[in-house]
Amino acid sequence: MSECECLAVCPFFNDKMPLLGGGLVEIYKENYCKKDKDSCARYMVRKALGKEKVPPDLYPNMRDKANQVIAASQQPA
Ligand code: SF4
């Protein structure tokens, strides 16, 4: 487990996405960005498909959506 190498450029980490309530942003930064990037939905898509394929509204906890995005891109055309 390690800090994510995308901290400097990630819209989520830099508060460029609509803020989540209840202090979730700080919790996610702590749990995903600083500890467990491999569990982050944004990181999963970035790693599988490239950063331009990461949906702008994908939050770190949305692993199901990340898997859908990755699966959809792997369908034969
Ligand atoms: S762990 Fe996810 S949300 Fe955090 S900086 Fe990396 S890609 Fe962005």
Q: List pLDDT tens digits, range 13-46.
A: 999 998 888 799 999 999 999 999 999 999 999 9
Grouping H, G, I as helix, E, B as strand and the rest as coil, residue 62 is coil
Ligand 1 site, residue 40, Cβ cutoff 6 A: yes
Look at the pTM and tell me if it is higher than 0.85.
Answer: yes
Q: Which of 8, 48, 7 is nearest to 29 (CA)?
A: 7
Rounded CA-CA distance 77/15 in Å is: 35
Domain count within the chain: 1
Query: 9: domain range?
Result: 1-77
Tell me, what's the pLDDT at 75? Answer: 78
Tell me, what's the pLDDT at 5? Answer: 97
Candidate of 4, 57, 62, 69 to mutate for ligand 1, largest count of ligand atoms within 8 Å of Cβ: 4
Binning pLDDT at 50, 70 and 90, where does residue 48 land? very high
Q: Closest ligand 1 atom, CA of 12?
A: 3
Tell the residue nearest (CA) to atom 7 of ligand 1. Answer: 43
| Section 52-61 average pLDDT | 96
**Helix-, strand-, coil-residue percentages of the chain, each rounded to 5:** 45, 0, 55
CA of 75 to the centre of ligand 1 (A): 26
